[in-house]
Structure 1
Amino acid sequence: MCGRFAVTLPPDAMAQLFAATPANDLPDVPNYNVCPTTQIHVIRAGEGQRHLQSMRWGFLPHWYKTPTDGPLLINARAETIAEKPAFRAACRERRCLIPATGFYEWTKDGEGKRLPWYIHRSDGAPLAFAAVWQDWARGEEAFRTCAIVTTGANDRMRQIHHRMPVILEPRDWALWLGEEGKGAATLMRAANEDVLEFYRVDPKVNSNRARGEDLIAPI
């Protein structure tokens, strides 16, 4: 799965990297502890161009009566996304990208304590997670929401966790966004083992209130 990540790229750099037009209400960066239900940076295609905008991380199916009416859907499994009622329409029609600098995963020591790891691209480039989005509204409450697509981990990542986000290379962004016709399903696979590297970080990131650049410092 992917339940926490970091993003440090300024909005203008994100807009340039993804050739997207930025909105005016983007979340503050850097953020070294991006948590579910907060607003995050998302790239979607529409109206003949790409848009960099803010969305709520936590997908809300249209039948939810309130944002807490069902499970918190921060991830969508690649293996079942096309069949699950919550995601199947979004998988066909509303795919997007979520930029990140790195993400966190956890193991446990012999006493059951959670040990955080920070995972990032080995070449230092930003990550682009495959994701899907959905508009949700009830009365005066309205959100544009999203979920990160995950798949089975590659052999190296499996040392930490059995799942990982689907990470897309720049050559695949247009296909995932629906700009190059059909075939996006072929992209929902684990990244090659040499794409990512990881190291232990301080357990203070276990708190969703933790802030600061030192959260991604190796220990």
Structure 2
Amino acid sequence: MCGRFALTASTDQTAAFLGVGELEAFPARYNIAPTQPILMAVAAPSRPPGSNLPDREAQLVRWGLVPGWVKDMRGFPLLFNARSEEAAIKPSFRSAMRHRRALVPASGFYEWCQNGPAKGQAYWIRPRHGGLIAFAGLMETWAGADGSEIDTGAMLTVAANAALASIHHRMPVVIEEQDFARWLDCRGQEPRDVSDLLKAAHADFFEAIPVSGRVNKVSNMGPEVQEPVAVDEEKQGTLASKTSDDQQMSLF
């Protein structure tokens, strides 16, 4: 599961990482939550031969996918995550999985421990090597009866790896940089052709840092939400030795 994440890299770093050309300047964001706008990179329309335009383009979308067949989005549940195991067949996601796969740039994400004495403890989970990562995303444009359109999106999740399973049983799918082009190629790559990319990052890819409950509030948007806190040794020991069960925690 991924219900909060951060993007704190500079605009130029993010554009270079995604290969999308120039981006409009944006501030560091330390506590991004569903329904807020998020940046996604998608494959650009076909370019004429000899064009110097990038093969990808960036879009701001509402985090919370709404399928095109929904009549009234006000009563539709907030789909900010999609289970990768069923995205190609589930009605809410299969069209986007086939036609509108995307990349979501991030500096890391937050998760809350589900079980045991440490239940409720928040963690800032970031790549050990630092820098940017890209989560697997899906994009869908929803059209209202009045002709208005809203670009919406969700992140794909997978069963957590051994290092994070004691915190939560799901984690976002990370697309490696060498696989960006294949993941985004919805013309030449069907969902079955990219299914091998829908896997958990290796166990030592991320590090989990305990942080305070400040991150629980969407209104707390500064770097202080990532400040490490001490965790009781007994709780930490239980967390390290405990395996995940099959329950999912609600963040809201």
Distance 1:83 1:108 in 2: 28
Instruction: Please tell me the residue identity of whatever aligns with 1:61.
Output: P
Q: Which residue of 1 aligns with 2:210?
A: 200
Structure 1 match to 2:235: none
2:73 and 2:13 mapped to 1: Cα distance? 32
Question: 1:71-118 deviations in whole A, cap 9, x for unaligned?
Answer: 110011011001101111111111000001110000157678621100
State the Cα distance separating 1:23 from its structure 2 match.
5.3
Question: How far apart are residue 218 of structure 1 and its match?
Answer: 1.1
Give SS of 2:74's match.
coil
**For residue 43 of structure 2, what is the aligned residue in structure 1?**
45
Q: Which residue of 1 aligns with 2:14?
A: 14
The 2-side partners of 1:105 and 1:145 are apart by 22
Secondary structure of the corresponding residue to residue 20 of structure 1: coil
**Corresponding position of 1:81:** 87
Shift of 1:125: 2.2
Q: Distance in 2 between matches of 1:140 and 1:81?
A: 28
Deviations 1:104-155 (A, max 9, x none): 0001576786211000101002110001100111114321111000000011
1:48-67 to structure 2, matched below 5 A, reads: 48=46, 49-67=55-73
Q: Which has the higher strand share?
A: 1
| C-alpha deviation, 1:63, in angstroms | 2.2
Residues 59, 73 of structure 1: 8 Å contact kept: yes
Mapped partners of 2:155, 2:22: distance in 1? 20
- Using the TM superposition, name which of 34-43 and 65-74 deviates more: 65-74
The answer to whether the Cα contact below 8 Å between 1:22 and 1:53 also exists between their aligned partners in 2 is: no
Counterparts in 2 of 1:1-219, with a 5 A limit? 1-22=1-22, 24=24, 28-48=26-46, 49-107=55-113, 114-138=120-144, 139-178=146-185, 181-182=188-189, 183-219=193-229
Letter in 1 for 2:5: F
- Paired letter, 1:190: A
TM-score (norm 2): 0.81
Q: Which residue of 1 aligns with 2:243?
A: none
Stretch deviating more after TM superposition (103-112 or 188-197): 103-112
Aligned residues: 217
The question of whether the paired residues in 1 share the 8 Å contact of 2:99 and 2:186 is answered with no
Provide the identity percentage: 39
Give me the whole-angstrom Cα distance separating, in 1, the residues matched to 2:164 and 2:118: 20
Larger Rg: 2
What TM-score does the superposition give when structure 1 sets the normalisation length? Answer: 0.92
Shift of 1:156: 0.8
Consecutive unaligned residues of structure 2, counting only runs of 5 or more, are: 47-54, 230-252
1:181 to 1:194, Cα distance in 2 relative to 1, 3 A: farther
Change (3 A) 1:111 1:187: closer
Q: Is the 8 A contact 1:118 1:199 kept in 2?
A: yes
Q: Distance in 1 between the 2:187 and 2:196 partners? A: 13
Shift of 1:209: 1.2
Q: Residue 22 of structure 1 contacts residue 52 of structure 1 at CA under 8 Å; is this kept in 2? A: no
For residues 85 and 213 of structure 1, do their structure 2 counterparts lie closer, same or farther at Cα, with a shift above 3 Å needed? Answer: same
How well do the aligned residues superpose, as a CA RMSD in angstroms? Answer: 1.9
Consecutive unaligned residues in structure 1, runs of 5 or more: none
* d(CA) in 1 for partners of 2:123, 2:200: 18
- Give the secondary-structure state (helix, strand or coil) at the position aligned to 1:56: strand
